[in-house]
Structure 1
Amino acid sequence: MDEAPSLRVPLVTPGTCPELAPLEQRIRSERGRISLLYQVLLNSAPIAGGWEQMLTAVRNRTGLAADLRELAILRVAVLNGASFEFDAHVPHAERAGISPEKLAAIRRIDAIDPVFGPLERMVLALTDAMTRDVEVPDEVFEPLRAEFDAKGLVELVATVAAYNMVSRFLVALRVSH
């Protein structure tokens, strides 16, 4: 069995740097714990603090339906090869009502499976375009206008963009289980 490549930066063990205590407390209050991701982020307090605020807003303070949010997050993780992120979001997806069939289908990157409903397919098509090509064709974006107002479109696009940042950070620094 191949050994996973090693993490590219050290972990910051919570409680070992007194100057990080207020930030660690804020992370714990929002997240319930200081995960492996945040132990990496704590190497830079400004990045960790900004990251926590932005990702908390994206995940917990928008009006985007939880199932659509989690489908987009899982799809980004699959497309970018971020297994740590995928595994971290499966419990959130299950709580949001995403079925085991959809969890299996989201892993198939060659096409968007018909197990998904019309709105889910639109969200996944946007996610695929943003993640694979950055540029989103009008034929992918325009159908979403019938489903989301400007606020909803901004929140959906920001979710996909933010989780591309997350997955690319994790993959580049080799954060894994």
Structure 2
Amino acid sequence: MKLFEVAPQGYQAVSGLEKYVRANVDPTVLELVKIRASMSNGCAFCVDMHSREALADGESDRRLFAMAAWREAPFFDERERAALALTDAVTRLGEHGVPDDVWDAAAKVWSEKELADLILAIATINVWNRIAVTTRMEPPAQA
């Protein structure tokens, strides 16, 4: 299904969120969040797209490869680590929500507005992942 054709107004609404987060979240952090959530959700289309975008924007191969084990990798700063932990918690939202320690770590290094924008970014990529996985979107054969 090509959701943008079947439900163009809904697709545009999600696109509006995407435009907002692109304008309000640090681009490096935004790509890390998108890649991490997409990995957790098993969205090959989004992992491919956002990895290629991150590389084009100057992200290192090494950091991208380390995304699978970011907690053990020394390549991410405190703000990135807080964003990645929050991404994991929000993406895998369990019965008890986001753990207090994850929230507290994020609130320590991100302002209230930055944290609000980060939550919107995490929510947005999760919507895109669910659309792409459900409609069976595949990465292009060649980049």
- Verify same fold: TM over 0.5: yes
1:152 alignment partner in structure 2: 114
| Alpha-carbon distance between aligned partners in 2 of 1:77 and 1:112, rounded to the nearest angstrom | 19
Pairing 1:162–2:124 present? yes
Identify if the C-alpha distance between structure 1 residues 118 and 159 changes in structure 2 by more than 3 Å, giving closer, same or farther: same
Contact 1:70 1:93 in 2 (8 A): yes
Q: Is 1:129 aligned to residue 92 of structure 2? A: no
The residue aligned with 1:21 is none
Cα drift, residue 116 of structure 1: 1.9
Q: Does 1:91 align with 2:52?
A: yes
Q: Retained in 2: the 8 A contact 1:82–1:170? A: yes
Find 1:80's aligned residue among 17, 21, 41: 41
Root-mean-square deviation (CA, aligned residues, Å) is: 1.8
Corresponding letter in the other structure for 2:100: D
The residue that corresponds to 2:103 in the other structure is 141
Count of residue pairs brought into register by the alignment: 137
Q: Which residue of 2 aligns with 1:116?
A: 76
**Which of these two proteins has the greater Rg computed from alpha carbons?**
1
8 Å CA contact 2:78–2:109 kept in 1: the answer is no
Q: Which has the higher helix share?
A: 2
- Find out whether 1:46 has 2:23 as its counterpart: no
* Structure 1 residue 142, shift from structure 2 partner: 0.8
Query: Is 1:102–2:26 an aligned residue pair?
Result: no
Contact 1:72-1:123 within 8 A present in 2 as well: yes
- The runs of 5 or more residues in structure 1 that have no matched partner are 1-8, 12-39
**Pair 143,107 (structure 1): closer, same or farther in 2 beyond 3 Å:** closer
- Percent identity between matched residues is 28
Unaligned runs of 5+ in 2: none
